[in-house]
Amino acid sequence: MTAASAAAGFSVATLFRMDPLGDDDALAAESGPVTDIAVRALGPRRDSVKAARDFAQDTLARWGAAQLSDDLALVVSELVTNALCHGVGASGEPGAATDTGGARDTAADPGTAGHPVQLAMLRKGRRVMCAVQDPGAGLPAPQDLGDGAETGRGLHIVECFSSSWGWFPLTGVAGRTGKVVWAMFQIPGQ
C-alpha cells in the first residue's frame, strides 16, 4: 500500500482486483504496479462536488486520458454528491450539504470529525478508477424510479457511464469507518 492509498484508507491493490473487465489476458498484461495515483480530501460542502470534478478532469489531462474527462467527471459528481448527502449529511457549516438522506449529522457525531470524504483516482495500464470514501454506514443501491422521479438517478448514471462499479465497507481498516464506492473506466483506443 502506498502512502497515498493509506491516506485514503483503502488498498490500491484491493481496488484493482475488483474489475477484471472480463478479459484474463488483458488483466495479466496489466499485472504490474499502478502507474498513477491522485488523492483529494473533500470537505462536507456543496462546492466539494465542483472541486472533485475539477480535480478529476485535471488529473486525467495530466495522465493523457482527457478523452475520459466528461464521463468520469459526471460519475465523480454523482459519487461525491451521494457521499455528501448520504455518507456525511449536514455538518452545520455554511454551504454544507443539507439533504441528509437519513444520514447522521456530523456536527453531532464526533466519530466523523476529521474524516472528510476522499476522492482517489488510480490509473493502471488502460484502466482508470475513481473511488470515493465516506464515513457513512448506509449501503449504496440503485433506487427504483417512478415516472416523475426527480432524484435517485445517481447510481444509474454511474452504471451507465462506467465499465463497472461497486463498493466495499471499511471494516477492519484501523481508525476508519464507512465505505468506498468505486467506478472503473477503460481509456478508449488503448
| One pLDDT digit (tens) per residue for the chain, 190 residues | 333 333 344 455 455 544 444 444 444 455 566 788 999 999 988 899 999 999 999 999 999 999 999 999 999 999 999 999 888 863 333 333 433 333 333 333 333 344 479 999 999 988 999 999 998 888 888 777 767 766 667 888 899 999 999 998 887 766 777 899 999 999 987 6
Total domains, the chain: 1
CATH number at residue 171: 3.30.565.10
Sign of CA dihedral 22, 53, 167, 82: negative
What element of type H or E holds 8? helix 3-8
DSSP string spanning 32-65?
S---EEEEEEE-SBTHHHHHHHHHHHHHHHHTT-
Q: Determine the structural domain holding residue 57 and report its residue range.
A: 3-143+150-186
